[in-house]
Amino acid sequence: MTQKTKRHNDPALAEARRNQVLCAAADCFRRKGYHGAGMAEISKTAGMSAGHIYNYFASKEAIIESIVERDMEEMFSIFKEFADKPGDRVTVLLDGLDRGVERHTDLSQGALDLEMLAEAARNEKVANLLRESDSHARDSMRELLVGERGPLQGTALEEVNARIEVMFSVMGGLLLRKMLNPDLDINELLKALRPTMKTLLLPFE
Amino acid sequence: MTQKTKRHNDPALAEARRNQVLCAAADCFRRKGYHGAGMAEISKTAGMSAGHIYNYFASKEAIIESIVERDMEEMFSIFKEFADKPGDRVTVLLDGLDRGVERHTDLSQGALDLEMLAEAARNEKVANLLRESDSHARDSMRELLVGERGPLQGTALEEVNARIEVMFSVMGGLLLRKMLNPDLDINELLKALRPTMKTLLLPFE
């Protein structure tokens, strides 16, 4: 791969190079941990000089920021898809459950997510990035659930927030399940997960 | 702290020294990551010489093995408590939910758990330790749920296993929730978590 590629002139090429760095960095963070993966390692994995990488990302922090942003964009496009689907929200969300489970039991994505979470426990900047992204995700989910009923207040707001916490807890917990039980049967899991999610989406008795 | 303490003669003292190492190591793993925390760092944090530590633990792997074992023992004692309680299993487990939530939203324990899980994604030995422990936890939970109904087979066994996966997913996911949402209101969360767990503990409609 030539290191002398003309930069910034071609936006598509610049985007491809940025992606090349993000994929290499994700790979290094998984293998060595965020802390253990230096720019030299990322540069070697990406097949680009460190100098070339610095044209796109000022630091390792800028790289992880972009990884979190990319995940957020993916998440927003899924929420938008759900919002655009006709039919009641409960059916739309239950129909989308398979896809959510698939995303959250992908071991390669899961390893990166776990590494970012472990790093967040000791790195306030990474923690803030993930918290901001999570806060946006909760907002999107609340909007999807509440919809035209307009902004909630008081007890109703607290209740929907608590339900979202439990939903996110189940889905986030799936990252751990596939890692801890390699024999996990996704189809069997879905049979128990669907009624659980239904409980969270319908009014409590 | 004297480094010349007579070792092994006093079992209580040996146990105290082992605990001192385990606590220091847990602290280092949280701060530096498992990979980043060497025996020198652990020895400094424990206030014991590396040579002294090697009397109790042959390697860093032996230390993490002991940490996982200690967590397992704690878990078994909780399962045993549940099993010994009078009343139906659903009530006993729902009554114990507060305690489970407290344990799974403890940020200091959570940071260590996340670090071990992230390390498991790149370290087969750590992965196997955690998987073995998780397999025992699933067995204990199954025994608690099935009880005198005796060993299950076929569809009934698959169903109870899937429910356990979802229960463990919710509880494990709580580790992430407290980290990602520092404003998480545990009492509100429990209001949504209780009906969710009830769905998983009672026959599906």
- From chain B residues 47-66, the ones with a CB under 8 A of any chain A CB are none
What confidence score (pLDDT) does residue B9 get? 74
Q: What is the mean pLDDT of residues B185-197?
A: 95
Average pLDDT, chain B: 90
Residue of chain B minimizing CA distance to A162: B189
Q: What is the pLDDT of residue B97?
A: 94
- Give the minimum alpha-carbon distance from A48 to chain B in angstroms, rounded to a whole number: 24
Quick check: A3 pLDDT over 50?
no
B128 at A interface, C-beta within 8 A: no
Does B182 lie at the interface with A, CB-CB under 8 angstroms? Answer: yes
Best to test chain B binding among A122, A129, A188, A196 (most B CBs inside 10 Å): A196
Facing B192 at nearest CB: one of A32, A107, A162: A162
- Give the pLDDT confidence score for residue B6 in this predicted structure: 46
**Range A109-133 average pLDDT:** 92
Q: Which two tokens stand for residue B148?
A: 């005198």
Torsion of CA B17, B19, B25, B31, to 10 degrees: -120
Number of A–B residue contacts, CB under 8 Å: 183
Structure confidence by residue, pLDDT tens digits, A4-27? 444 557 889 999 999 999 999 999
Query: B115, A134: Cβ pair inside 8 Å?
Result: no
Please check whether residue B147 touches A, CB under 8 A: no
Residue B205 has pLDDT above 90, yes or no: no
- Mean pLDDT, residues A31-59 taken together: 92
Nearest CA in chain B to A187: B162
Cβ atoms of A176 and B169 closer than 8 Å: yes
- Assigned token pair, B93: 């487990």
The full 3-state SS of chain B, as one line of letters, equals CCCCCCCCCCHHHHHHHHHHHHHHHHHHHHHHCCCCCCHHHHHHHHCCCHHHHHCCCCCHHHHHHHHHHHHHHHHHHHHHHHHHCCCCHHHHHHHCHHHHHHHHCCHHHHHHHHHHHHHHCCCHHHHHHHHHHHHHHHHHHHHHHHHHHCCCCHHHHHHHHHHHHHHHHHHHHHHHHHHHCCCCCHHHHHHHHHHHHHHHHCCCC
What is the reported pLDDT for A127?
94
Contact status of B103 with chain A (Cβ, < 8 Å): no
Percent of chain B with pLDDT over 90: 75
Contacts of B30 in chain A (CB under 8 A): 121-122
Q: Judge: A118–B115 Cβ closer than 8 Å, yes or no.
A: yes
Q: Give the pLDDT mean for B65-92.
A: 91
Whether the pLDDT of residue B19 is over 90: the answer is yes
| A68 touching chain B per CB within 8 A | no
The pLDDT, as a whole number, for residue A148 is 67
Q: Any residues with CB less than 8 A from the CB of A7 and at least 6 apart, and which?
A: A13, A14, A17, A52, A55
Which of B4-13, B27-36, B133-142 comes out lowest in average pLDDT? B4-13
Residue B171 has pLDDT above 90, yes or no: yes
**B115 vs A120: CA distance, rounded Å:** 10
Q: Is B114 on the interface with A (CB under 8 A)?
A: yes
The mean pLDDT value of chain A amounts to 90
B88 has a chain A CB within 8 A of its CB: no
Contact A39, A53 (CB under 8 A): yes
Of A31, A122, A193, nearest to B30 by CB-CB distance is A122
pLDDT tens-digit readout, A64-112: 999 999 999 999 999 999 999 998 889 999 999 999 999 999 988 899 9
- Average pLDDT (B107-120) is 91
pLDDT at A87: 87
Instruction: State yes or no: pLDDT of A1 exceeds 70.
Output: no
pLDDT number for residue B8? 58
Cβ pair B102, B40 in contact under 8 A: no
CB-based contact A134 B181, cutoff 8 Å = yes
Question: How large is the average pLDDT for residues A130-159?
Answer: 90
Q: Is B97 on the interface with A (CB under 8 A)?
A: no
pLDDT at B3 over 50: no
Name the minimum distance, in Å, from the CA of B106 to any CA of chain A.
Answer: 12
